[in-house]
Chain A
Amino acid sequence: MKPILLIDFGSTNTKVTAVDLDEEMILGTAASYTTVETDINEGLTSALELLEGRTGKLDFEARYACSSAAGGLRMLGSGLVPELTAKAAKEAALGAGAKVLKIYSYELTEDDLEEIKEISPDIFLLTGGTDGGNKDTIIANAVKLASLPCDFPILVAGNRAAARACEKILKESGKEAFVCENVMPRLGELNIVPVQKKIREIFLERIIKAKGLDKAGELIEGIMMPTPAAVLNAMELLSKGTNKGEPGIGDLIGIDVGGATTDIYSMAEGAPERNNTVIKGIPEPFAKRTVEGDIGMRYSAAGIAQAAGTSAIENLSGLDGDRVWELLDYISSETSAMPTDDDLKSLDFALASLAVKIGTGRHAGISEKVYTPLGEAFMQQGKDLTTVNKIIVTGGSLIHNDKVKEIASQALYSFDEVDSLRPLEAEILVDKKYILSAMGLLGQYEPDIALRIMRKELVSYGTCKQEIK
C-alpha cells in the first residue's frame, strides 16, 4: 500500500481524501470544521481522526493540500476596454482559481480607488492595451494604485511597452510589483497561461503566509493551489487525458452549486457547429471557469429569485409564493439549514435547478440569427457547447440530492432560451465521493492514476436529452 493524503481547506469544512497509489483507489474521505482563526491544524487533525477511524491508521507517503479558506484567493483587476483586456483579465484570474471581486475598465476613478482600498484584495491584476497599443491608461492606473496606502501585490500584465514603466512607478512607492506577459498581446489573442502561472506563484509565496495557512506547513508538503484551480485541473485532465496516452472523456461541462456561488466549468474549444457563423468577442479559453456570485443555495438564494423570478421557483417547487418567500428568508439567514422537511426539499430542488440553468446559461455562448442582404447568418459570442455530451456534477448540495439528474438536465439546451448554446444531449456523471479537487491535486504528481480513479469513481446517471419538438 502506498497511501497519499489530499487535503482541501475549505471556507467551512476541511476535507481529506486518502488514496492508495498502488491499488489506484480511494481509501476513504472525511471532513471537519476549518479552524483557520485558531490553528488550521486542529480541523485537519480532527478530519484525519475521522478518516483513520474508518480506514485504520495510515502511513502517508505524501500530503498535498489546496485551499479556499480565509476567503479564498481574492482578486481585483483592471483593463482598458470592458469587452477586451478587462475581459481577458477576468478570464485569467478566474482560470487561476481566484475569487474575482471586480474588474475595472478604463481609468480608475476616485471612487474605484476607495473601493479597492476597502476591499484590499490578495492580488491586483493590472492590464490594458495590446502590445504597442494604448499605454496611457495602464500607466495612469499604476500611478493611482501607487498612491494607495495598501500593501497588496500588483501583477502587471498589459501592454509590454508600458509594463516596466508601471513596475517602476509601483515599486518606487513601495508596492510589491510583478511583470508578466500581456493577457492580450494582439487584439483578439488571449494569452492567460503566463499570468495564471504567476498568480499561482504569488499565491504560494505570499498569500498562504498572509492568511496564516502556512501553519499547516509542518504536517504537509504545502498548499499547492487554490481549490477552484484544483477542480479546474481535475476537469481538464478528465477531458484531455494524459500525455502518456491515458485517454480522457472528451469535451465536458462541470457544475458546482455552492451556498454562496455557482461555479461552471467547460472543457471544450466551443467552435461554431453551424455554418454561416461569424464569431464576435475575444477568443475563449479551452478550460473556462465562470463564477456566479449572485447564484447560490443559501447566502445567494435571493439572487436566484431575482434572476429567475419567484414564479419560476413556485413552478419548480410546487410551493405558493408566500411560502417561497418565507423559506427564502429563512435559508438566507440560516445558511447551514439542511433540507429536512418536504417544503425545504422542494425549494432546494427548485433553487438547484435554477442555479444550474442560470449558471450554464451565463457560461455558454449565444448565437443570434441575423438576416443580411446575402441571406441568413449567425453571430456567435462565447462557446458553442451544443455537442458537448458529458456533464460532471460536483459540490455538496448536488451530489447527495435524489433528483440530481433532473437538476443537471437544466444545463441542457432550452426552448425558452433558443440562442443559448448549451448541450443538446449529455451523460450526467456525479462526483459522489466529492473527490474532484483531490484528484486535481493528485493530478499534478500522478496524472495517470488520478485520471483512472476519476473514471472509476464518477457515477453515471444516464443520458439526458433535449427533445426537439
Chain B
Amino acid sequence: MSDKKKLVIGVIGADVHAVGIQILAHAFEAAGFEVTNLGVMVSQEEYIDAAVETAADAIMVSSLYGHGELDCRGLREKCKEAGLTDILLYVGGNIVVGKQPFDEVEVRFKKMGFDRVFGPGTPPEDTIKALKEDFNL
C-alpha cells in the first residue's frame, strides 16, 4: 500500500457547485495525495463514513453558496464521536453569507474545530502548502 496521505473532499450541504471540487481533486492528486472525492451535496455523515472506511488523514470541506456556517456546525464533534480523534479538518470557499471580514470568519470556524480556514478565491497551491506543513511533508 502507498503511504500517501489520504484526503476526503466534497461540497457540503445543499450546494451543487460541481466544477471546483473536480479541480481540487486533480490538484490534490497531482500534489501526491490520495483523494476520495464525494462530489456535491455531501452531508456531514458522508464525510465521516468515507473517512472511517478509508482511514483518511484529513477532511476537506468546500462550500460556495454561503450557507457553510450552518452546514459545518457539529462536524468536529461528530468526528470525535465516530472515533476520528485526530483527523485534520479544513474548510474553504464562500463559506459565509455576504461580505464579512475574513479574520472574524476564520475565528468562528476555528472555534467550530476546523484546523484551517480558507477564504474565497484561495488557489489550490495555498491549501496544498498548508497540508504539507500540517503533515510535516
Contact = CB atoms under 8 A, between A and B. Distances in A.
B52 to A, nearest CB: 5
A134 B50 contact: no
B33 interface: no
B100 to A, nearest CB: 18
Contacts of B66: 373
* Interface size range on A against B: 20 to 34
Max chain B Cβ within 10 angstroms of own Cβ: one of A131, A133, A280, A370: A133
Contact of B53 (A85, A160, A161): A85
B130 interface: no
Nearest to A160: B1
A80 to B, nearest CB: 5
A348 B17 CA distance: 51
Contacts of B52: 80-81, 134
A188 B42 CA distance: 14
Interface in B39-70: 39-41, 46, 49-50, 52-56, 65-67
Given A133-B56, A373-B14, A374-B16, 12 more contacts: A84-B53, A130-B54, A132-B2, A132-B55, A133-B55, A134-B55, A187-B36, A187-B53, A188-B36, A278-B16, A372-B65, A374-B17
Contacts of B15: 372-373
B84 to A, nearest CB: 11
30 contacts: A83-B49, A84-B49, A85-B53, A128-B53, A129-B53, A130-B53, A131-B1, A132-B1, A132-B2, A133-B53, A133-B56, A134-B52, A134-B53, A134-B54, A134-B55, A161-B1, A184-B53, A187-B54, A188-B36, A278-B16, A278-B40, A280-B46, A370-B14, A370-B41, A372-B65, A373-B14, A373-B65, A373-B66, A374-B65, A377-B41
A187 B36 CA distance: 7
A135 interface: yes
Contacts of B54: 129-130, 132-134, 187
B53 A80 contact: yes
Interface residues of B, number: 24
Nearest to A135: B55
B34 to A, nearest CB: 7
B76 interface: no
Contacts of B17: 374
A133 B49 CA distance: 12
Contacts of A372: 14-16, 41, 65
Contact of B49 (A81, A373, A374): A81
Ranked nearest first, the 8 interchain pairs of A and B with the lowest CB-CB distance are A133-B54, A132-B1, A372-B14, A134-B55, A161-B1, A81-B49, A133-B55, A187-B36
B15 to A, nearest CB: 7
A373 B14 CA distance: 8
A379 interface: yes
A379 B54 CA distance: 24
